[in-house]
Amino acid sequence: MAPAMRSDHLAKLRQETVDMFYHGYSNYMLHAFPEDELRPVSCQPLTRNPNKPADIGLNDVLGNYSLTLIDSLSTLAILAGGPADERYTGSQALSDFQDGVAQFVLYYGDGRPGPSGQGIRSRGFDLDSKVQVFETVIRGVGGLLSAHLFAVGDLPIRGYDPKPDGTVRGDDPLETAPISWPGGFRYDGQLLRLAFDLSGRLLPAFYTKTGIPYPRVNLRSGIPFYVNSPLHQDSGDAEPAVGNAEITETCSAGAGSLTLEFTVLSRLSGDPRFEQAAKRAFWEVWERRSDLGLIGNGIDAERGVWIGPHSGIGAGMDSFFEYALKSHILLSGQETPNMTRSQRQSTTAWLDPNSLHPPLPPEMHSSDAFLEAWHQAHASVKRHIYTDRSHFPYYSNNHRATGQPYTMWIDSLGAFYPGLLALAGEIDEAVEANLVYTALWTRYGAIPERWSVRESNVEPGIAWWPGRPEFIESTYHIYRATADPWYLRVGEMVLHDIKRRCWVACGWAGLENVLSGEKQDRMESFFLGETTKYMYLLFDPEHPLNNLDAAYVFTTEGHPLIIPHQARGSSTPRRRPSRASQQTKKDVAVYHYYDSRFTNSCPAPRKPLEPLAGSNTAAKRNLFDVSRFTNLYNTPNIHGPLEMFNIKDEDKGHVMQYRATSNHTVFPWTLPPTMLPHNGTCPAPVNRVLSWIEFPSQDAASSASSSLFSRASPQLRWYQNLGPTVETVDGLKLQLEQEFSEGAGSDVWMITHVAGKTVARHENVMFHAEHVRQFRDDAFSVLRRKDMVDVVLLVEPDEPEPAPSLRTSHELPLASMPLPVAPGSLDEITSSIDAVAENASSTTRKPAVRASDEPPAADPDSLFKSILRAVSSALEGSSSAAARGTPAPSSPFRGGHSSLDDDGDDSSGPSIYSWLANTATGAGAFPLPAVHDALLRNSPDFSAADPGASLPWRRVYMAGLACDGPLPDDAARRHQVIVMQRGGCSFGEKLDNVPSFVPDDGGGGGSLQLVVVVDDGVGDDDVPRPLLPTEQRTPRGAPRVHGIPMVLLAGARGTYELFGKAAGVGLRRKYVVKSQGYVIENAIVL
């Protein structure tokens, strides 16, 4: 037990949670059952609003099937598994669980087709209720399945060991061996059959051409209101269009968060339809992610296109991430599902929406495929949504296609994300993210639906808290991962604040306004189904569910689910699979995935830094940063010391009131001082150092037409995952912020805004050298690098190339595989292309349909690879960026980038290759020749009609290793470039074998200008600057009068041979940008 909370205090909190649940549950059963929910203020039931179909806040959720009872059954089962106490909570909760199941069966039947299937209210879910598919699955189907798993013993209840007292009817998986309960009720799978009936009524919604389900369905009549559904092509069941067309917009969470419930149902029932449909919907949403790897919120089920540009982790997207990771957990150790069709008939017409689509490949059913999706989704969120510049980190809402900030508010539903991170082993990020929500709860006594980061306050008109569970859910998961008692104190705060603010005589009311305390007359079913459940499990560390060593998960509605490995209580053994079926399983390719760049395991809890305090979270030095970010430190602490003061009231005269004497300096407000570290301090707030740069506009009098064209043209062109390229600096405005760079070991500038657009931390701002290399202003100075240069090579198309071009092996967009590495690092940039190529055949396919609001893709390889090369060289320092790249299979270059003809046909135009090369160093080094920079296809002055115009050298001598004696005299006199292979002798010996010659003017003359040494990729990837420790000499041993420049180029197998086919060779200088003496780290000169 954690030293900061005694066991008796923990037991007290646990009992208070039990009392909280029963105050709501008992009043629901007394005042509202069998209706869906309770009005706790008026002590009346809450039902659907049939007179107002547009009231989706009620009608989407309330299906007229006793929703609160379904949502509460798994909580009752968990309370039944608690420790023994003086009030016999466990036995009472077990009795209430069994009574609740019996009551539900009484009203809705036992799920069989005969007379026993008719209940007091309906036969199963044969109800004229138009409901939302997502809400019905997570609450209705999930609640029934979880209660069934508890009832048959597949999920644990302490002291409950069900013993079947009969045999199973036939071999129907929906029929389980009967278990006798007190009161004469015999449980034999009633809830499983009812879950099957309910799910069968949802299948019509999956009849779409995209595989993405419609958002709503009528439990009795299906989807007659979706007139374009393939279900109606031959049946004529579609309703004639009257008035406005039915909305076909769903959301990523609504379509992609069905896999847990439907997979468990298919495995328990032997019917694959549900699992197939849910998984297809998940992958169809995932395939439509943007090039940044971000999913959107709204998506059209019929067209498969995004509706609106919004992306984040909150409402409409939240549980998609959750089900990616939890599907991996649930499916761990499981076999590929049986793909044969069940012959069982449901109570509705037999429907199989999977008949519209090809079967999902086996890898898309695998646990590893979902883990890979989670890894990539998390990496994209961390890269584009996570925001930590100039304030405490939080998850913003950004544009799905560009990553640009979209709205500046925090969504209360996003409070689930820290708990998901904890499940994924991302503990540090989870702890950090949860701090923001903890501070917000401390400030408001609840978490408002939306909180404005810009205004540091509640969004007007969106101030409610309807009893949501996401914050306490994350608190529970992080406590399980860290064993830090700080989270027990957070749970204590939540418990006390709910009791203080939400109690009413007939239950628990949500808050309509967290500021005023106004109450809602509604107790949402998830308050009993999730909020009280997670709170109870938080306060019961020894609960059987907290110690279950199995691949179980909580659904997004808080219902525990598991896929049992074998049938329980069956009097007949399972059929042994035939040899043919066993061979089929062997022949099926199992998808295996492992990527060491991602977190693949959960770390053990860390020991507290200060054992007497017991909490690492309370000892974090940045706690005050969270208080400043949420303005908590300016909020009076009503739980602390109070003082009386006198005010004059017009009616009552002088009145004494109380006010807090202090603000919140620490949180949660339940945190005892003993948990704070001795002499604990927080760092002083960082003073931001900002700078602004504005480039001059062209003189209107001298170049009016040019200026007009420049201003009419866009200043930026954005290439996903890289950042903006500045197309013109005319009138350009930059905002810079000074930061300490770990890589540089000193302060640097970072461009945070360019032309009014935000630049993310991982992004760089690219400038064309032709636009900026002349700047020498102290505010913006472009300095030529002496340690590296680009070597540019032109190969004509009629020259046969020894291997496929880069377009063949590297044509996928860079953003298709986001990588979880430090922004701006060389390894990230140079490995991205190869990571994309290696994963091109993975299950994460890209859709053919694109949303209309996404920007056009970048130009072919030539453009972003030139950008890539420049980024790499600028960030790497003196070592070769190309040396760290991994060569593509059969590619003739390593670090070399091909710039092909514009129409994409590499056989119809010349190829321009470019490699980063290191210049020589030491006493024998000689400066590079003074030639104009070679132009690449993305260069502003490049001419497609004459691509080699900027390449001054046309004659190349291929010297091999150049170690076996002097080269021929004409090698230096009649060739401008000598190309050598690395190895065999030292760099100095290679130069000593170059014969004497008389240099020309350094331009297009005929004698030697440059020696290029090619590392063909078979040696060490860490290519250095070539060292020439002594002065250069001629083959006769005399000091060389005219020194020869040398560069070392990192290539790959075939690079050396390419130079033998050269139609032109040139150099392009590399640059670094400074402002006021400091490097601008994310400014890249192309």
Q: Give the active site residues.
A: 135, 318, 449, 470
Q: Residue 237 carries which side chain, given as an amino acid letter? A: D
**Count of positions (residues) in the chain:** 1086
d(CA 360, CA 358): 6
Contacts of 363 (CB under 8 A, 6+ apart): 369, 589, 590, 591, 843
The rounded distance, in Å, linking the Cα atoms of 181 and 753 is 67
Strands (E), 687-822: 690-694, 716-719, 723-726, 733-741, 746-754, 757-758, 765-767, 781-795
* Cβ proximity of 134 and 215 under 8 Å: yes
**C-beta atoms surrounding 554 within 10 Å:** 25
Q: Check the annotation: does 1030 bind a ligand.
A: no
Q: How many CB atoms sit inside 10 A of residue 576's CB?
A: 8
Name the 3-class secondary structure at 428.
helix
Concatenating the DSSP letter of every residue in 343-370 gives ----SS----GGGGSPPPPGGGGSHHHH
If you ran DSSP here, which 8-state letter would residue 921 be given?
B
How would DSSP label each residue in 491-526? HHHHHHHHHHHHEETTEEPPBS-TTT-PBPS-B-HH
Q: Which of 418, 407, 408 is nearest to 441 (CA)?
A: 418
Cα–Cα distance measured from residue 78 to residue 529, given in angstroms and rounded to the nearest whole number: 11
| DSSP assigned state of 527 | I
Give the integer Cα–Cα distance in Å for 871 and 857: 19
> Is residue 252 a contact partner of residue 295, using CB atoms and an 8 Å limit?
yes
- What residues are paired with 519 via a beta bridge? 511
Would you report the helix, strand and coil content of the chain in percent, each value rounded to 5? 30, 15, 50
Cα–Cα distances in angstroms (integers) from residue 961 to residues 199, 954, 964, 1019, in the given order: 72, 21, 8, 14
Q: Which residue from 988, 809, 993 is spatially nearest to 889, judged by alpha carbons?
A: 809
* Nearest CA among 881, 877, 1052 for reference residue 982: 1052
Q: Specify whether the CB–CB gap between 981 and 1013 falls below 8 A.
A: yes
Query: What residues does 1013 pair with on adjacent strands?
Result: 980, 1048
Contact call for residues 346 and 123 (beta carbons, < 8 A): no
- Alpha-carbon distance values, 63 to 56, 371, 672 (Å): 11, 34, 45
CA dihedral 44, 47, 49, 50 (to 10 degrees): -130
Distance CA 1054, CA 892 (A): 4
Specify whether the CB–CB gap between 507 and 28 falls below 8 A.
Answer: yes
Measured CA to CA, the distance from residue 882 to residue 889 in angstroms comes to 16
The whole-angstrom separation of Cα 33 and Cα 45 is 7
Instruction: State the angle between helix axes of 259-269 and 318-331 in degrees (0 to 180), rounded to the nearest 10.
Output: 30
Burial environment of residue 587 by CB neighbours within 10 A (0 to 12, 13 to 18, 19 or more): exposed
Burial class (CB in 10 A: 0-12, 13-18, 19+), 52: exposed
Annotated binding residues for Ca(2+): 556
